[in-house]
Amino acid sequence: MQTPQEFYNLDSIQHRTDWQKHVTWHEQSMFYRVIQPGKNRWNAAFWCGSGSVMRRSALMSVGGIATESVTEDLHTSLRLHAAGWKSVYHDEVLCMGLAPQDFLSFTIQRLRWAQGAMQVLRRESPIFKKGLSLAQRLNYISSMFTYFESFQRLMYTVTPAIVLITALLPINVGITAFLIRFLPYFILGQAANIALGRGHFKVLETDRFNLLKMTTFIKATFVLLGFDPKSFKVTPKAASQKGVVRSLLRPYYVLMGMLIIGMVVGALRLAGLCGPLANPGAFWMSEIWTLYNLWLMYRGVRSAVKHITRRNTYRFPVHVPVTMVTRKQRLSGVTENLHAQGIAILTDNALLQTDQVRVLIHLPYTLVSGNLQVSFNKQVGSEQLQYTGKTDHMWISGGIFIPDSAAGGNAIDGFLISIMDQQLQIYNRLNKLEHEMLEQIA
């Protein structure tokens, strides 16, 4: 039995959270809220690791967990279904975990999933696996073949730029005739995705994440040729290395450079500086398409750079009143983020770096005191001050926090766990409302 995977770090790279409207979406929402329930209808929902329960006798009947691939959950599910066992997808959030916080951990996780799918496809393909029903076979094939869509996305990314640079058109047709055929196909396709996605399919966000995963999935397909991963890499939860993240982004810098060159050359052609154009409408379309790809890629790269993790522990973005006592003054503030081992605080005045500050955290039911070793401070942008009622002259200061007692650390942990429980209840309420709406529509 598998349940949905939800996450308490709503500021991760795979999340899009509106803190003012208390609305969040993440890159796996479509899978856990729409695709897995659909697979469940055909007894094809597969094990995803966390948030699951497995019958021991079923597991032992297929030789235990499949360790021949780096996606043991998918591989084991395939064997269980082929052996006649039934899977159940229980569409209720019962636990929460930590999503990949930055681009490095996101890439390592997605690479492992894609490489494991290629290993299963090569060694124990659902196309030929005995014991699967036709519906199960098609479900597994669609889940594994989705990684090949990265080649399609690469072609959609570079083709308009190549057209602008070389003046070679992939099809020779008038712009009006092309749009008459293309626009209905494109609009109806997106409308179908939105309708079937039940609010979990975001057109621009999905396309942006497809771009961010593109080079990773292309790399993973080489496993089909026998280039197996050297080891199983667990998704890292600690601080990422800035240089490693930037190296992962190099292909996108190259592609962005290519798109910019294409737009410049295309603009020169449209201005008539490179001679007359046989089909100027096609070049205008290519220019617009290239601009869209460039904008989308810029947003993806910007998000990856923005989410570089510098801490080994995750801090919750919660706002709790605090009182601070330094050598010269007594200040009041509010937490920007909180963990039993670290804290960041918003104040009217900056705390000096290297200062040892006494901090009193006003939790809902108790007070926690301790020492803060200030390691950074910076002036805060206006967008971070909306919940404080102020618009300027505030500072964020933070560093390592050491509670005076173990009880204080436990109190902080208990408070943060209660925050997770509130998120869990919100997810389940929204899910219940969604099911009620679907029943009314039916």
Domain-terminating residue out of 147, 163, 184? 147
Question: Is the pLDDT at 240 greater than 70, yes or no?
Answer: no
Q: Of the spans 175-179, 300-304, 350-354, which averages the highest pLDDT?
A: 300-304
Q: Which domain holds residue 332?
A: 321-413
- Measuring CA to CA, which residue among 240, 213, 194, 235 is closest to residue 300? 213
Q: Are residues 269 and 224 in the same domain?
A: yes
- 359 and 290 within one domain: no
Closest by CA position to 318, among listed 369, 360, 363: 363
* For range 298-317, the mean pLDDT: 86
Residue 312 inside a domain? The answer is: no
Calculate mean pLDDT across residues 331-357: 84
* Residue 74 belongs to a domain: yes
14 and 141 housed in the same domain? yes
Backbone angles phi, psi at 306, to 5 degrees: -65, -30
What mean pLDDT do residues 272-297 have?
A: 90
- Inform me whether the pLDDT recorded for 277 exceeds 90: no
Pair of tokens at residue 141: 């094939």
Pair (298, 391) in one structural domain: no
Q: Determine the Cα–Cα distance for residues 18 and 56; give it in Å rounded to an integer.
A: 42
In this prediction, what percent of the chain has a pLDDT beyond 90? Answer: 54
pLDDT bin (cut points 50, 70, 90) of residue 65 is very high
Q: Are residues 161 and 301 in the same domain?
A: yes
Paired tokens of 435: 């099911």
Q: Is 217 contained in some domain? A: yes
Domain end among 147, 177, 199: 147
Name the pairing type of β-strands 96-97 and 6-7: parallel
Residue 442 binned pLDDT confidence (cut-offs 50, 70, 90): low
Confidence tier at 273 by pLDDT (50, 70, 90): confident
C-alpha distance from residue 317 to each of 8, 203, 212, 259 (Å): 10, 27, 25, 37
User: For residue 386, what pLDDT is reported?
Assistant: 53
| Co-location of 143 and 184 in the same domain | no
pLDDT in tens, 156-202: 999 999 999 998 888 888 888 888 999 999 999 999 999 999 888 99
Q: What is the predicted pLDDT for the residue at 173?
A: 83
Residue of higher predicted confidence among 423 and 112:
112
Q: What is the mean pLDDT of residues 346-365?
A: 83
8 Å CB contact between 164 and 270: no
Q: Distance of CA 13 to CAs 233, 322, 386, Å?
A: 19, 29, 22
CATH number of the CATH domain containing 352: 2.40.10.220
Same domain, 184 and 133: no
In a domain, 297, yes or no: yes
For residues 108 and 156, membership in a common domain is answered with no
Instruction: Please tell me whether residues 35 and 54 are part of one structural domain.
Output: yes
CA pair distance 237, 235, nearest whole angstrom:
7
Token pair listed for 6: 């939800």
Q: Tell me how far apart the terminal alpha carbons of the chain are, to the nearest angstrom.
A: 26
Q: d(Cα 79, Cα 55) in Å, to the nearest integer? A: 14
Looking at residue 57, what is its pLDDT? 95
Give the model's confidence band at 238: pLDDT under 50 very low, under 70 low, under 90 confident, else very high.
Answer: low
Give a yes or no: residue 435 inside a domain. no
More confident residue, 389 or 355: 355
Instruction: Please indicate whether residue 23 or residue 431 has the higher confidence score (pLDDT).
Output: 23
153 pLDDT tier (thresholds 50, 70, 90): very high
Residue 392 inside a domain? The answer is: yes
Structure tokens that stand for 384 in this block: 């971070």
Structure-token match 């999935």, residue found: 217
Mean pLDDT over the full length of the chain: 87
Residue 1 has pLDDT above 70, yes or no: yes
Domain boundary among 280, 306, 332: 306
Under the banding of pLDDT at 50, 70 and 90, the label for residue 128 is: very high
| 87 and 51 within one domain | yes
**Token digits of residue 68:** 């021949």
Q: Of the candidates 306, 363, 364, which has an alpha carbon nearest to the alpha carbon of residue 340?
A: 363
Q: How many domains does the chain have?
A: 3
**105 pLDDT higher than 70:** yes
Q: What is the pLDDT of residue 293?
A: 96
Q: Is residue 91 domain-shared with residue 161, that is, in the same domain?
A: no
Q: Which residues contact 361 (CB under 8 A, 6 or more apart)?
A: 320, 322, 335, 338, 343, 367, 368, 369, 370, 412
For the residues of 195-239, what is the DSSP string, one character each? HHHTT---HHHHHHHHHHHHHHHHHHGGGGGT---SS--PPP-SP
Same domain for 187 and 233: yes
Within 10 angstroms of residue 328's Cβ, the number of other Cβ atoms is 7
Q: What is the pLDDT of residue 233?
A: 67
Residue 183, helix vs strand vs coil: helix
pLDDT (average), residues 101-115: 93
Strand-pair category, 96-97 with 321-325: unpaired
| Coil vs helix vs strand at 399 | strand
Asked, for residue 423, whether it belongs to a domain, the answer is no
pLDDT of residue 116: 94
In this prediction, residue 241 has a pLDDT band, given cuts at 50, 70 and 90, of: low
The whole-number pLDDT of residue 393 equals 66
Residue 395 lies in a domain: yes
Q: Give the contacts of 54 (CB within 8 A, at least 6 positions apart).
A: 1, 47
